[in-house]
Amino acid sequence: MPSKYEELGVDVSKKGVEFLKKITDDMFPEAFCSIVKDPLNPEWGIILHTDGAGTKPVVSYLYYRETGDVRFFETLVEDIVAMNVDDAACVGGLPIAFSDYVAINPFKLSKQDLLNSLAKGFSKTFSKLRDYGINILFSGGETADLSDIVRTFDISGTVLARVELSRVITGRNISPGDIIIGLRSGGKARYEERENSGIMCNGITLARHCLLSNEYLKKYPEISSEETKGYYGRFKIDSFIDELSMTVGEAILSPTRIYLPIIIEILREIRVKAMVHNTGGGLTKCLKLGRNIKYVKDNLPEPDPIFKLIQNESGEDWRNMYQNFNMGVGLEIVVEKGDEERIINISEKFGVSAQIIGRCEKSSEGNSLTIISKYGKFNYN
Amino acid sequence: MPSKYEELGVDVSKKGVEFLKKITDDMFPEAFCSIVKDPLNPEWGIILHTDGAGTKPVVSYLYYRETGDVRFFETLVEDIVAMNVDDAACVGGLPIAFSDYVAINPFKLSKQDLLNSLAKGFSKTFSKLRDYGINILFSGGETADLSDIVRTFDISGTVLARVELSRVITGRNISPGDIIIGLRSGGKARYEERENSGIMCNGITLARHCLLSNEYLKKYPEISSEETKGYYGRFKIDSFIDELSMTVGEAILSPTRIYLPIIIEILREIRVKAMVHNTGGGLTKCLKLGRNIKYVKDNLPEPDPIFKLIQNESGEDWRNMYQNFNMGVGLEIVVEKGDEERIINISEKFGVSAQIIGRCEKSSEGNSLTIISKYGKFNYN
């Protein structure tokens, strides 16, 4: 039976991607993201990594149309920067430069409003990172008028990052006995301005459809394809939900946390075995890494209220929830037993709570994952 | 009065892009594309450049739905590679690595068919370039299921290229008296497999709408937004047109020529003053470069038949045609008088015809362009 999420046309297993994966010039195919060799600097690897903001643009568009407020165009920049730089950081890569790609239907929204907001977002985001010694050069990007392709707009970005080949985090030496630390996706880091729902950029399609009222679709048919059969939520975009301590719109559009300032300090002090950015694939993303490892996550934090709300409103299986969403854990770090306290301390110094969420055991064949939660015990491989 | 092209929601002047341009860390803001400094190699600049295939995906989708043939998914790779590597080459950049971004509506087409074809396209294109000593590492990319955003699919790419700072082609020293050489976009280069209509990736929205029959829109409503008011062409996608020596579908989907093998040989032998890849903005793209230069193009080749057909079917002004399309000249090279013959010889050795198309004169204020053709005399600034 397809999950609620698959019914909306989203395939978390990313079928077909293997064709492209197969032809990459990846030096470390087992690592979290591709690294190619740097012809000019043989001791270094290049990470050229592209990622988008999922369907968050649809909700930021709706917010803009309903309120005239452009602030969630601005925060989309944090999403695309986080989605890229934190993926690169998972292999030890430090960002050098960034470019963006925007495809827009100019009949539906003002390109000037959008691009002006994005420019402000880039200035703010890169300036905040500079305070932590992270200097990302913005090289511009492309804006394409594609009304016959995009219903509203789409945004993605590409980061160029570098890593010394001797310091690549491949995940190759994850061993039974290693500890998995989870860093929280919700809350508010010291360097952030607002409380965050923790949703990041994955699962947005399901979140939108199950939370937002179909009235919006009647008013703005451009927020959905015909096939996804409408929105079925009980909420308006500005409905304030007590459990969330924010509106539904703010919860869906909370920008993806950029973990990089924390990661850099961790990497400076501790030799980590693996890092996993829990984007597409949610808490099962770790299955990409390691050899014959059984990941056991039996001490996950209580999922942030947004995830419980989505589960409740959509009726999605809990098993799928852990695969569609980060469920409150945006980044996982695998370390040797003994290093866990130092990681937790560094993260909490930045205001991001962290805890041991599980451990690595030996698997007889391939990787597997067991999640033990109060919502059930789920196995994945 | 808006041009036929603007009525379709495409703004060739790219309003709003200045917001992003303003905040780039560009070392040479006057050059053809952004160059940022390389912190690891202070003598080198980094070009991180993103561009897409315009609305060619719509036509390749239509071709696939009508014929089941995936070959024009494969050739889209040539488009996105050309759009990126040749832009980077215009400042002297040589490509190192490439990543792609695909946003897809999986309800409308098979992701596996698309990605498998793209993978074949990347293998072929990079292998062909390797024959000319150009080694581009493929670092993969992102494929996003976005049925609520994209009607069919969208594709873009990002190239990482490098240039020695002492060899950057800024266009700064274009002087009155310099000669403009035009390299043809149509025909067939030695390293290409098929005759090319010359259309490249710009103006595709107008080409589609004025050439293709509205029957397709009735059959596949997903090939247009509501606002663009339908297709109004006389042709089927497989209509063979004698003047084109190919079908309408093949003409619109002819892949953008990759000039890089020719450019590399030119740069090895001749110090060029500027290069202009005639993408968005068509033959007016040169206005970006130089200081107080009046470009006079009075010896343009006869536009390839596809451009005449589009003009005839759409009724677009000729003045606009030169701004929407490359009109048969895909790449312009500005050199000192005396160097023109060597450039033409190199290009023709590769099977790409080239000719002197005009010259640079002094302008009293800012840049300007005069096109003198049998279709009229047009001024731009």
Q: Classify each residue of A142-153 as buried b or exposed e, where b means 16 or more C-beta atoms within 10 Å of its C-beta.
A: bbbbbbbbbbbb
The number of beta carbons lying within 10 Å of the beta carbon of residue A181 is: 25
Residue to substitute from B148, B150, B205, B279, interface A, most A β-carbons within 10 A: B148
What's the pLDDT tens digit per position in B62-94? Answer: 999 999 999 999 999 999 999 999 999 999 999
pLDDT digits (tens, 9 = 90+) for A44-75: 999 999 999 999 999 999 999 999 999 999 99
In chain B, the residue whose alpha carbon lies closest to the alpha carbon of A11 is B145
pLDDT score at A10: 86
CB of A153 less than 8 A from some CB of B: yes
Whether the pLDDT of residue A356 is over 90: the answer is: yes
CA distances from B188 to A287, B344, B348 (A): 47, 16, 11
pLDDT at residue B173 greater than cutoff 70? yes
Give the pLDDT band of residue B1 (cuts 50, 70, 90). Answer: low
pLDDT digits 0-9 by tens, A205-230: 999 999 999 999 999 999 999 898 89
* pLDDT (0 to 100) of residue A1: 63
pLDDT at A2 over 80: no
The answer to whether residue B326 neighbours chain A at the CB level (below 8 Å) is no
Average pLDDT, stretch A165-176?
97
Closest alpha carbon within chain B to A223 = B148
pLDDT(A8) > 90: no
Q: Assign residue B229 the CATH number of its domain.
A: 3.90.650.10
Q: Which residues of B touch A122 (CB under 8 A)?
A: 20, 23
Query: Looking at residue B13, what is its pLDDT?
Result: 75
Residues in chain A, overall count? 381
> Under an 8 A CB cutoff, do A24 and B140 touch?
yes
- Asked if A357 and A181 touch (Cβ cutoff 8 Å), the reply is yes
Q: pLDDT band at residue B228, thresholds of 50, 70 and 90? A: confident
Gap from A314 CA to chain B (nearest CA, Å) = 18
Q: Decide if pLDDT at B352 tops 70.
A: yes
Q: Does the beta-carbon distance from A119 to B158 stay under 8 Å?
A: no
The verdict on B252 touching A (C-beta cutoff 8 Å) is: no
pLDDT score, position A6: 86
Query: What mean pLDDT is reported for chain A?
Result: 96
Q: Which of residues 115-144 of B touch A (CB under 8 A)?
A: 115-116, 118-119, 122-123, 135, 137-144
pLDDT at A12: 76
Torsion of CA B284, B289, B292, B296, to 10 degrees: -40
Instruction: For residue B58, give its domain range.
Output: 4-380
Among the partner residues A139, A142, A162, nearest to B25 by beta-carbon distance = A139
Contact (Cβ atoms closer than 8 angstroms) between residue A275 and residue A289: no
| Residue A7's pLDDT band (cuts 50, 70, 90) | confident
**The pLDDT value given to residue B24:** 96
Q: pLDDT digits over A285-324, tens only?
A: 999 999 999 999 999 999 999 999 999 999 999 999 999 9
B238, pLDDT greater than 70: yes
pLDDT over threshold 80, residue A13? no
Confidence tier at B229 by pLDDT (50, 70, 90): confident
The predicted pLDDT at position A152 comes to 98
Amino acid at A276: V
Q: For B316-320, which contacts have Cβ atoms below 8 Å and span 24 or more sequence positions?
A: B316/B3, B316/B4, B316/B5, B316/B206, B316/B210, B317/B3, B318/B373, B318/B375, B318/B376, B318/B378, B319/B376, B319/B378, B320/B3, B320/B4, B320/B5
Q: How far apart are CA B68 and CA B62, in angstroms?
A: 9
Counting residues of chain A whose pLDDT is more than 90, the rounded percentage is 94
Cross-chain CB nearest to A160 (options B46, B112, B141): B46
**A–B CB contacts, 8 A cutoff, strictly below:** 272
What is the rounded CA–CA span in Å between residue A338 and residue B57? 53
- Nearest neighbour of A16 by CB, restricted to B9, B35, B115: B115
* % chain A with pLDDT above 70: 100
Q: Which of A24, A116, A150 sits opposite B16 (nearest CB)?
A: A116
Residues of B whose CB is below 8 A from A155:
none
Q: Is A252 exposed, middle or buried (0-12, 13-18, 19+ CB in 10 A)?
A: buried
Q: What is the pLDDT of residue B163?
A: 98
Q: How many angstroms separate the CA atoms of B291 and B298, rounded?
A: 20
Instruction: Give the mean model confidence (pLDDT) for residues B360-365.
Output: 95
pLDDT at A190 over 70: yes
Predicted ipTM of the assembly: 0.96
Token duo for residue B1: 């009065």
Higher-scoring residue by pLDDT: A4, A77:
A77
Mean pLDDT, rounded, for A247-259:
98
Note whether B151 contacts A147, CB cutoff 8 Å: no
214-233 of B, contacting A, C-beta below 8 A: 223-225, 227-228
Instruction: List the 21-40 stretch of B: residues with Cβ below 8 A of A.
Output: 21-26, 33-40
> What residues of B are in contact with residue A154 (Cβ under 8 Å)?
103, 146, 149-150, 154
Asked if the Cβ–Cβ distance from A144 to B114 is below 8 Å, we say no
3-state secondary structure (DSSP) of residue B283: helix
Task: Give how many domains chain A has, as a whole number.
Answer: 1
Q: With contacts defined as CB-CB under 8 Å, which chain A residues touch B53?
A: none
d(CA B122, CA B197) in angstroms, rounded, equals 22
Closest residue by Cα to residue A359 from A165, A174, A117: A174
Please tell me whether residue B369 adopts helix, strand or coil conformation: strand
- The reported pLDDT for the residue numbered A4 is 87
For the cut 90, the answer to whether the pLDDT of residue B3 exceeds it is no
- Beta pairing, strands A179-184 & A368-373: unpaired
Say yes or no for a CB contact (<8 Å) between A9 and B107: yes
The answer to whether the Cβ–Cβ distance between B118 and A154 falls below 8 Å is no
**Does B251 score more than 70 pLDDT?**
yes
**Shortest alpha-carbon distance between residue A295 and chain B (Å):** 26
Q: What is the DSSP letter of A284?
A: G
Q: With an 8 Å Cβ cutoff, is B114 touching chain A? A: yes
Is A100–B20 a contact, with Cβ atoms under 8 angstroms apart?
yes
Greater confidence, B8 or A370?
A370
Average pLDDT value for residue range B366-379: 97
Q: Is B353 on the interface with A (CB under 8 A)?
A: no
Determine whether the interchain pair B150/A153 forms a contact, defined as Cβ–Cβ distance below 8 Å. Answer: no
Confidence of residue A182 (pLDDT cuts 50, 70, 90): very high
State the average pLDDT over residues B285-302. Answer: 97
Task: Considering only residues B228 and B221, tell me which one the structure prediction assigns the higher pLDDT.
Answer: B221
Q: Do A23 and B122 touch (CB under 8 A)?
A: yes
Which A positions 68-107 lie with beta carbon below 8 A of chain B? 96-101, 103, 105-107
Q: Is a pLDDT exceeding 90 seen at residue A342?
A: yes
Mean per-residue pLDDT for B3-19? 84
Chain B's closest residue to A113, CA to CA, is: B16
